[in-house]
Amino acid sequence: MGDQTKPYTIVVGVSATSKSPTALRWAAAQAALRGGRLVAVRAWRPLLPGTASRGTPAVATPDLGAAEAAERESLAADVAGVLGADHPADVRLVQGSKAKALLTTAEAQDADLIVIDTPPRIDLSTPPWFVDRLIHRAACPVVIMQPKVSG
């Protein structure tokens, strides 16, 4: 993070449901202001087939490569839909949980900042584990776009 020869790097989480438009726009603007890089990340977990009765594998085996390619294309389309077709973002699909995807990408890219939209909260009696894990384990600052800002 202290290396002056590397570009300022922002890792932004892109939700498959909301597309994280506020986080993407804000992170892209910050990267542009600093002459830096933007890395758009989405966590992905392959859906494995269920089992038939008695624990035997299901007959149909999904094409995981095709599923991953489709999800990667979906991510690229979501980023382009928010930032425009000529966006400068490096798009990354990372297998694992949301927190793991953001943390491992930020570490691998030596990120200076992580940006996310506020995750939806359904059960307000439990702490926001994703955000808690992210802010306590990240090696760089984390910006969380407020619901008032991100809608």
Per-residue pLDDT reduced to its tens digit, 3-58: 668 899 999 999 998 899 999 999 999 999 999 999 999 999 887 655 555 555 55
Over the chain, what is the mean pLDDT?
86
Distance CA 76, CA 60 (A): 28
Say which CATH class 9-47+62-150 falls into: alpha beta
Residue 2: band (very low, low, confident or very high) from pLDDT cuts 50, 70, 90 = low
Residue 104 neighbours by CB distance under 10 Å: 16
Of 50 and 68, the structure prediction assigns the larger pLDDT to: 68
